[in-house]
Structures are given as C-alpha cells and as structure tokens.
Structure 1
C-alpha cells in the first residue's frame, strides 16, 4: 500500500494545500494533522468579524467537516506531532502512533509571543478559541490596555472601541507599525485611532502587569480590567529543527518551497524563503494562500518555482490599508479624495517595485491591483505622472 501525503498544520496554508491536492487530481490517501480541534480557517477575521460577533467559525473556515469527508481528507484534529524522522519518511503523533509518508508539507504556523508572567486578565489573539475568550471579556465600559502597536494590536483596539471599551495602546517604538509602514501612514494611523478616542502612547516600556492595571517603566500606572498582548508571533519550527531540517527565523526552503530534507516542503507563516535575495517570512493571508497552493503543486511533482509579489491589507475602523510589492527608498506620493493617499516605490530605473494605499472603505483596492500589474510590467514610469491624481493608472499600464 502506498504511503500517504501528509500535511502537518491544519490552518490556512495547510487547508489550502489539501484542497489544491484534490482539485489537481490527487486521489491517494491524504492526511491533514492539526493541533486545534477546528477545521482549517482564515485568521484575519479573528481581530475583526469574530471579535465583533458579526461572524463565526463557519464564516471564516475554508471548508466544513462534511466537505472534508466528501474529499476523502483524513483530518486528525487535536493531534500534535511529536517527532519527525526524515530518513525513515515517517512521523510520530503525541499518542505514540507512527505514520509513514510519501511526501510531507510542514504548515505549522506559529503561536502568539507571550509575556513571561501568565495572568487571568491577560489575553492573546492567535486562534479561534483565543478570539472567543477575548470577545467575552470586551464589554461596554471595560478599560483595555493593548500592548503592541502593530496590526493585531491596532485591529483589536479598533474593534474594542466599537464595542464600547476604553482603550489605551502602548507602543515601545516611536511610531505605529514602524517595521512595515512608511512614517506618513504610521502618522495617519495614529491620527485615526486618536480621533476614535484611543489613548495611544509611543516610546513606552512595560514594567509589569498587575491584577488591576499595568505599570510602566517610568513609574506610571494605568488602571484597567483587561490587557491584550500583541507583540508578534513565534513560528512553530521546533519539530523541523529537532529533525535536523535547516531553520533560521523559520523553516528554510528553496525556490520550490522544498526544505533541506527529501520530500518535505514548508508553507505559510513558518516558511522562510528568499525574496530579493534575502531570507524572510511573511505572516499574511496572501502568503498562506499562495504558498499552500504552490506547495501542493510541487508535492505532486510539478517542480514550479515559487515567485511572489508580497502584499497585505488591514482594516482600521472604516479605513483600509493595502500594500503590494517591496517598499524602496524612492517614494512618490499621490493624494486621494477624502484624505487618503497612494504611495509609489520605484527603483533606480523608475520602474515600480511597490505601492501602499490608504483610503476610506475599500477605496484603494482597484489602484493596488493596477499597481501589481505595473510591477509585473516593469515599465519605466514618470514621477510627475504618478504624483498627479488626475492621471489614470490604467492608462499608464496601457502606455
């Protein structure tokens, strides 16, 4: 009997890979192993719709249990993998059971980076169950401190304000989402959150969390009932590292998403791949979707190199942020109606490398799609034309 294909990690990337294998005609045994008790789901709704109570698990799942059964995907839920033996082409579940594999995808994702002390009033947001726990704690009038001014922290802050909470955001750096956003967008985010009544504090350090509040290093004490910690993600690469696979800040792969071990691939948040010659991980919906699909194709022997234009989005109140490509030092700014903006990033030959849009609602979605096509076209562009809101991006693409 032929060994199955196995996917370890039943999140977005793993779920997308399993679906793609069936869509592409693989009819052999297929096993999807996940730590969580749930079917594969997307994570962006956790800080928005799920936290607001406007959607549920079914609303953000890739498929349901009935569909898994129809497709013949064996879903081992709540079954952590304890050991991997690449030389033997097998893995061991926490209950001691060994499973052989013909091909293996590691889509193990990550977990919320945690503070040393564990307290009942401290919440994290990485899983469906964590979102439900936090939702039940966000009542009107609740005083909430959010530790971390990145996207998760800011989305939680926006949702909590909508639920009637009093919110303070603590950011250790000089600006919001400073690792990934240009200063002008960071400032727009700061202004927006303050307009909505969030007390945003920059350049502050946390000393400790107490039962009735938080203490800052400078001695200030902020009374609160709840604390949300959003200080990043810890990739789940321990299984791969213990098995001798090459790791860095994630599980390292080649251009085909292959790890350093035969017949083992990696995808999603845990995958460290080369972009512009440098190893990096991408913790985005877009990356999980694309790599899950692509790893499945290569598990089937397609040998297709993974080429991507990175991108992400974030919803903040009734404003939307979208980026695509790589943000270079050469930036051109275009004002948009209603106070929004579109930023273009060029290389030395005036070709578009990346773009960042900020506008109400979904106002920049079409522009960002056109920018992605301009990046692919690799056409030299005129800076003055890019800066002029009267000039059509579609026209630039045709020209």
Structure 2
C-alpha cells in the first residue's frame, strides 16, 4: 500500500490544502492532523462575529464532517504530532502511533504569545475555545484592559465597546499597528477608537497584572475586571526544529514552499518565505488561503513558484482597512468619499507596488481590487493622476 499524503495542522492553511488536493484529483489516502478538536476554520471571525454573538463555528468552518467523509479525508483531531523523522518519512502522534508519509505539509500555525505571568483574569485570543472564553467575559459594564495595539487588540477593543464594555488599550509603541501601517492610518485608527470611547494609551509599559487591575511602569494603576493580551503570535516551529529542518522565525521554505527536507512543504502562519530577498512570515487570511492551495498543488508535483501578492483587511467599528502588495517609500494619497483615504506605493519606475485603503464600510474594496490589477499589469502611472479622486482607477488601468 502506498504511503499517504499527510497535513500536520488542521487550521485554515491545512484545511484548504486538504480540500484542494481532492479538488485537483488526488485520490490516494489523505490524513489531516490537528491539535484542536474542531474542524478546520478561518480565524478572522474570532475577534468579530464570534465575540459579537453573530457567528458560530459552523459558519466559518471550511467544511463540515459530512464533506470530509465524502471526500475521504481522515481527520485526526486533538492528537498532535510529537515527533517527525524526515529521513524515515514518518511521524509519531501523541497517542504513540507512527504514520508513514509520501508527502508532508507542515501547516502548524502558531499560538498566542503569553506574558510571563497570567492570573485568572487574563485572556488570550487565538483559538475558537479562547474566543468563547473571551465572549463569556465581555458583559456590559465589564472593565477591560487590552494589552497590545495591533489588529487583534484593536478588533477586540472595538467589539468590546460594541458590547457595552469599558475599554482601555495599552500600546508600548508611539502609534497603533506601527510595524505594519503608515502613520496617517495609525492616526486615523487612534482617532476612531477614541471617538468610540476607548481610552488608548501609547508609549506605556506594563509592570504587572493583578487580580483587580494592571500596574504600569510609571506607577499608574488601572482597575479592571479582565485583561486581554494581544501581543502577537508565537509560530509553532518546535516540531520542525527538532526534526532538523531549516528554521528562522518560522519554517523556512524555497520559492516552491519546499522545506529543507525532501517531500516536506510548509504553508500558512508558520511558513517563512523570501520576498524581495528577505525572509518573512505573513499572518493573514489571504496568505493561509493562497499558500494552502499552492502547497497542495506542489505536493502533486506541479513545481509552481509561489508569487502571490500579500494583503490583509481589518474591520474597525464601521470602517474597513484593506491593503494589497508591498509598501515603498514613494507614496501618493487620494481622498475617498466619507473621509476615507487611498494610499498608492510606487517603485522608481512609477509602477504600482502596493496600496492601502481606509474608508467607511467596504468603501475602499473596489479600489483595492483595481490596485491589485494595476500591480499585476505593471502599468506606468502618473502621481498627479493617482492623487485625483475624479480620475477612475479603471481608466488608469486601460492606460
């Protein structure tokens, strides 16, 4: 009997890869192994719809049990891989059994970064079960301190305010989402949250967390009922490291998403790949979707280089933030209806490399889609035309 294809990690990237393998005609044995007891699901709703009570796990799962069964995908849940032996092409599960593989995809994702001390009132948000625990805590009038002014922290803050909580956000840096967003968007985010009654504090450092509040390094004490920590994700690279694979801040891959070991690929949040000559990871829905599909194709021998454009979105109250491509030093801005903003990032040849849209609702979505087409088409652009809100991007696309 031929050895199966195995996917380690039953999150978004792993689940998408399994479904793609079947869609592309692979009929051999296929095993999907996950740490969690749940079916593969998307993570963006955890900080939005699930916390708000408007979505449930079934609504953002990639498939149901009936579809997995119909596709003959073996889902091993809550039984993680504990050991990987690349030379022997086999791995071991927590229950002790060994499984051989013909090809392997590591989509092990990551876990929420923890503080050294975590009293009972401290909550994190990375998994479905963590989101349920947080939802139960967000009652009207609850005093919530959010540690971390990144996307997860801000989305939790927005949801908590909508549920009637008193919210304070603590950010160690000088601006919100400072490592990802340009200053003008950081400032817009700051103003939006303050307009909705969030007490945002920048350039602050946490001294300790107590049962009834947090203590800052400057001596201020903030009474609260719950502390939500959103300080990033810790990639799950331990299995790959112990197996001798090349790792950095994630599992390193080549241009085809292949790891340093034969017949092993990586995808999703844990995957560290080169872009513009530098290794990076992308913790986004778009990347999990694209790399999950792409790794599946290459497991089938397609030998396709991975060159998908990066991008992400975030919902903040009734405003939407979208990006596509990469940011460069040369930026041109355009105003959008309702006080929104569209930023264009150009290279030295005046070709579009990236774009960032900030607008009420989905007001920037159509423009960002057109920007993606402009990036792909490599059209030479004029900065004055880009800045002119009366000149449609579709017109620029036509040249």
1:130 corresponds in structure 2 to: 130
1:66 CA displacement: 1.1
Aligned mates of 1:145, 1:211 — CA distance in 2: 12
Give the match for residue 277 of structure 2: 277
Paired residues of 2:235 and 2:269 also in contact (CA < 8 A): yes
Matched residue, 2:10: 10
In 2: Cα distance, 1:357 partner to 1:298 partner: 33
Cα deviation digits, residues 235-284 of structure 1 (max 9, x gap) = 00100010000000100000100000000000000000011111000000
1:193 matched to which residue of 2? 193
1:237-248 aligned at under 5 Å gives the runs 237-248=237-248
Q: Secondary structure at the match of 2:145?
A: strand
Q: Distance in 2 between matches of 1:188 and 1:330?
A: 20
* Preserved contact between residue 118 and residue 209 of structure 2 (Cα < 8 Å): no
The answer to whether 1:287 aligns with 2:284 is no
The one-character-per-residue Cα deviations of 1:78-100 (angstroms, maximum 9, x if unpaired) are: 01100000000000001110000
SS where residue 111 of structure 1 aligns?
strand
Distance 1:324 1:118 in 2: 36
For residues 170 and 127 of structure 2, the distance between their equivalents in structure 1, rounded to whole angstroms, comes to: 22
List per-residue Cα deviations over 1:151-171 (Å, max 9, x = no partner): 000000000000000000000
Instruction: Describe the superposition over 1:100-120 as per-residue Cα deviations: whole angstroms up to 9, x where unpaired.
Output: 000000000000000011211
Matched ranges for 1:106-255 at <5 A = 106-255=106-255
Aligned twin of 1:89: 89
Asked if 1:36 corresponds to 2:7, the answer is no
Q: When the two structures are superposed, what TM-score results if normalisation uses the length of structure 1?
A: 1.00
- The aligned counterpart of 2:359 is 359
Write the mapping of 1:251-330 to structure 2, written as runs, cut at 5 A: 251-330=251-330
Cα deviation, residue 190, structure 1:
0.2
2:377 aligns with: 377
In structure 2, the partner of 1:25 is 25
3-state SS of 2:193 partner: helix
In structure 1, C-alpha distance between the alignment counterparts of 2:248 and 2:33, rounded to whole Å: 24
1:57 maps to which residue? 57
Mapped partners of 2:286, 2:163: distance in 1: 28
> In the alignment, is the contact (CA less than 8 A) between 2:374 and 2:397 conserved in 1?
yes
**Root mean square deviation, CA, Å:** 0.4
Specify the alignment match of 2:336 in structure 1: 336
Kindly indicate whether the alpha-carbon contact (under 8 Å) linking 2:171 and 2:203 is maintained by their aligned counterparts in 1: yes
1:391 matched residue in structure 2: 391
CA offsets, 1:64-86, max 9 Å, x none? 11111111000000011000000
State the partner residue of 1:47.
Answer: 47
1: distance between equivalents of 2:138 and 2:2? 51
CA distance in 1, matches of 2:199, 2:213: 15
Q: Following superposition, which runs of at least 4 residues in structure 1 exceed 2 angstroms of deviation?
A: none
Consecutive unaligned residues in structure 1, runs of 5 or more: none
2: CA distance between counterparts of 1:290 and 1:52? 28
Contact 2:29 2:73 (8 Å CA) reproduced: yes
Per the TM alignment, residue 286 of structure 1 is displaced from its structure 2 partner at its CA by 0.2
Q: TM-score, normalised by structure 2?
A: 1.00
Number of residues paired by the alignment?
399
